[in-house]
Amino acid sequence: MPGYQPPAPLPGAKGPTATTTVSMTDDRFDPPTLTVAAGTTVRWVNAGQHVHTVTSETGRFDSGDLKPGQEYTATFYAGTTDYTCRHHPAMKGKIVVK
């Protein structure tokens, strides 16, 4: 799947600790805000009828076009990441790492 993955963890950091899923429907990310522990892998699944993207507002990653049923994953280690769908700018989401 095309797209940019956030950088690998720093040396000595443990690998992903958990996986959680965000559903993309045709008008929203569900849940729109997700709070996770460092090292969590987030999986976005296109459960809608249209093509969507998972695109970081800072340009750190972009899933590329995801057709219905396709998915994209990224692992988060620190900070807050806001993202949107390039095709549907009203679709906004946020990952908060605690």
pLDDT in tens, 61-75: 999 999 999 999 999
Residue 53 CB: number of other CB atoms within 10 A? 21
Is residue 89 in some structural domain?
yes
pLDDT in tens, 31-45: 999 999 999 999 999
Q: Nearest Cα to 13, choosing from 95, 83, 97? A: 97
Backbone angles phi, psi at 26, to 5 degrees: -85, 10
CATH for 71: 2.60.40.420
d(CA 73, CA 43): 4
Domain of residue 57 covers: 18-97
Is residue 1 in some structural domain?
no
- Chain centroid to Cα 62, Å, comes to 9
Q: Which helix (H) or strand (E) holds 45?
A: strand 40-46
Query: Considering the entire predicted model, what is its pTM?
Result: 0.83
> For residue 58, what are its two tokens?
């800072």
Is residue 4 in some structural domain?
no
Total domains in the chain come to 1
Q: What is the pLDDT of residue 2?
A: 45
